[in-house]
Amino acid sequence: MSAPPPIPASARRAESPHPSSPAPVAGRRRARDTGRPGVLWAVPGLLFFGLFAAAPMVLVAWLSFTSWDGLSAPAWSGTENWSRLWSDPAMHRALRLSLLLTLLSWAFQTPVALLLGVWSAGHQRSRAVLSAVFFLPLLASSVALALVWRSILDPNFGLAADVARWLELGDANVLGSQRGALLAVAFVAAWQFIPFHALLYQGGARQIPRSLYDAASIDGAGTVRQFFAVTLPQLRNTAVTSSVLMVVGSLTYFETVLILTGGGPGSATTIVPYLMYETGFRAFDLGYASAVATSLVVVATGVSLLMVRLTGFGRMRSTREGM
Amino acid sequence: MKTVPPATAPPPSRHRPLWRRANIPAGAGAALWLAIVLIPLYILVSATLRTREDYLERGALALPTAPSVESYRRVLAGDFLTYLFNTVVVTAACAALVVVLAVTVAYSVVRTRNAASRRVFQLFLLGLAIPSQAVIIPVYLIITELNFYDTLAAVILPTAAFALPVGVLILVGTMRDIDEETYESMALDGAGPLRTLLNLTVPMSRAGIATVGVFSALQAWNGFLFPFLLTQSRDTRVLTLGLYDYVGEFRVDVPALLAAVVLSVVPIFAAYLLARRQLVNGLMGVGGR
């Protein structure tokens, strides 16, 4: 697995901008510099990225101060959208639901992904084969998976109907109840994203030095003890990475909600991105929707910074200290 | 990861590390998860081989006793092939754009050592954190201003832009591993930046380039938000959007709906069988957005 390198490599470069040989031979010096591309080589990529990703980041903040219906030009409206946002019960509810969904997703996905990842890090043949199956959901789009689950959860013709009959539950309409719909979204998203996080944990677990397990087993630790004393602490950094991605990911579930519940019943699953979609592209109140979108960025960034700070990940302590 | 030589091995064999012997609770947990993964996949495939009436009558789990490909035929009789074609175009264009741009950006970042190139890299690192939904409204504005609304370009351009940061990050990592000496000998031969890139850097970073290509292709193949909000007519519809549309079109024809789902994922499953390593690397390109 070619893990992308972390930032420090660039920081290292920063300390020695130029080779510090005091009097480089002229020929060598020329050899070093001919054949080097200039920063101009980055310009096409930069322009492209700037136009479709970076500039929109700035634009969305500007649009949140305008009133715009998508047809005429956006008109400056000052802080109107923001004061409306501040006191909008729909927004409060969406924010609460988003945070609740994020919490549910984290609480469900982390333990399962951790166990699956550690399990699949083993080198047995059977584990390799089963892991290949486990990771299948990763390949399909959110739309495809949401459609499969929509069919399964269909109260009349889906598996849900059969299960309700076997268990003699009166009602199979999971998606029709407020709590059921939110749980269903959380479950389907977990089913889809657990393999990704399991892969992260698998990579982390495979990097734990074997000697730690040998030492633990000399000390008489059994499998379970080894898991808690060696595996878990060693996976700390992986857990933070996975959690941050999970939190930012679950703040932005959209397809699953759109297809599974359409934000309903009522507004029981209208999470922030869905509210933005409804306001912007259904009600064509794009200025207000921009304010919703901006607040989504603020919340997502805030939550992930907070997590990084709280877990001390910012200090990037190595789990291999003293080895 | 080799077996410990007998001299240092712990004498009692019950203290072997976790992956050495069967672990029953772990096995049971894995079996449970296997069921959770396989039952939906079973329903997905088996339903498509049954008729609509059979599915409605005998429920989701029943075996396809008289398999028929009727539902596939129904899907293929519609606009499915148009959607597939559009998706193929979008995927190929995205992968090509991202690979070319990420290679040039990463090459410049790795080989130009000055403040400007470090800034460029930092900007792309920041770009990793931008969620596409947060900027969809301004992207919509830009796309309509450029008169690209409802064209395949409207899907390709933003999708590629959002895959670019990950591509740059992966390729900067790969290209840093190429030795300075090799570059110097190229330079002594009088090679300019373009020749160095094509004859040295690109061949040496094939693995990274493959990963970037697969990552961006997957993003494009599975992407929904951009096509959903930036195109509207049938001629520009991509597969994911087509699937979403089938919900209305097929209503209770679950076998046909699921047949469309199967057809849309078959190419990726085939790629998974052929090139699992590259695909997994591509998937893990960072971020589960």
Tens digits of residue pLDDT in B128-163: 778 888 889 999 999 999 999 999 999 999 999 999
Q: Which domains does chain B have, with CATH numbers?
A: 21-68 (no CATH), 75-283 (1.10.3720.10)
Residues 6+ apart with CB under 8 A from A166: none
**A152: its two tokens:** 């399964």
pLDDT band of A111, cuts 50, 70, 90: very high
Which of A39, A196, A213 lies at the smallest CB-CB distance from B120?
A39
How far is residue B185's CA from residue B202's CA, in Å, rounded to a whole number? 16
Q: Where are the beta strands (DSSP E) in chain A?
A: 66-67, 75-76
Q: Which 8-state DSSP code applies to residue A282?
A: I
For A206, nearest residue in chain B (alpha carbons): B1
Contacts of B130 in chain A (CB under 8 A): 53-54, 57, 297
Give the pLDDT score at A147. 92
Using the Cβ of A3 and the Cβ atoms of chain B, whether some distance falls under 8 Å is answered with yes
pLDDT band of A223, cuts 50, 70, 90: confident
Contacts of A127 in chain B (CB under 8 A): 19, 30
Residue type, A66: T
Q: What is the mean pLDDT of residues B91-110?
A: 93
Interface confidence (ipTM) of the complex = 0.83
The full DSSP string for chain B is -PPPPTTTS-SSGGG--TTSS--HHHHHHHHHHHHHHHHHHHHHHHHHTS-HHHHHHH-SS---SS---HHHHHHHHTTHHHHHHHHHHHHHHHHHHHHHHHHHHHHHHHH--SHHHHHHHHHHHHHTT--GGGGHHHHHHHHHHTT-TTSHHHHHHHHHHHHHHHHHHHHHHHHHTS-HHHHHHHHHTT--HHHHIIIIIHHHTHHHHHHHHHHHHHHHHH--HHHHHH--SGGG--HHHHHHHHHHHHTT-HHHHHHHHHHHHHHHHHHHHH-HHHHHHHHTSS---
Nearest C-alpha neighbor of A101 from the set A195, A188, A182, A193: A182
Using the Cβ of A2 and the Cβ atoms of chain B, whether some distance falls under 8 Å is answered with yes
How far is residue A283's CA from residue A260's CA, in Å, rounded to a whole number? 21
The count of residues in chain B is 289
Interface contact flag, B134 A246, Cβ < 8 Å: no
Within 10 Å of residue B53's Cβ, how many Cβ atoms?
9
User: Which of B1, B8, B16, B18 should we substitute to test contact with A (largest number of A Cβ atoms within 10 Å)?
Assistant: B18
Nearest C-alpha neighbor of B226 from the set B211, B215, B236, B235: B236
CATH label, A89-315, candidates 3.90.550.10, 1.10.3720.10, 4.10.640.10, 2.60.40.10: 1.10.3720.10
Which of A2, A122, A280 lies at the smallest CB-CB distance from B208?
A2
Q: To the nearest whole angstrom, how far is the Cα of B143 from the nearest Cα of chain A?
A: 9
**A70: its two tokens:** 């998508």
Within 10 Å of residue A167's Cβ, how many Cβ atoms?
8
**B234: its two tokens:** 């049938």
Give the pLDDT score at A34. 58
Interface contact flag, A41 B193, Cβ < 8 Å: yes
Least confidently predicted of A87-96, B10-19, B210-219: B10-19
Global pTM reads 0.83
Are A155 and A171 spatial neighbours (Cβ–Cβ below 8 Å)? yes
Helix or strand (DSSP H, E) at A142: helix A142-152
Give the pLDDT score at B285. 58
Interface contact flag, B19 A123, Cβ < 8 Å: yes
Residues 6+ apart with CB under 8 A from A8: none
**B85: its two tokens:** 């074609």
Domain ranges of chain A: 89-315
Q: In the A/B pair of chains, how many CB contacts fall below 8 A?
A: 347
Give the pLDDT score at A84. 92
Interface contact flag, B17 A144, Cβ < 8 Å: no
A190-206 tens-digit pLDDT: 999 999 899 889 888 88
Q: What is the mean pLDDT of residues B31-52?
A: 88
Enumerate the β-bridge partners of residue A66.
Answer: A76
User: Which of A20, A32, A36, A175 should we substitute to test contact with B (largest number of B Cβ atoms within 10 Å)?
Assistant: A36
As a whole number of angstroms, the longest Cα–Cα distance in chain A is 87
Q: To the nearest whole angstrom, how far is the Cα of B81 from the nearest Cα of chain A?
A: 17
How far is residue B259's CA from residue B248's CA, in Å, rounded to a whole number? 15
Whether residue A104 is predicted with pLDDT greater than 90 in this model: the reply is: yes
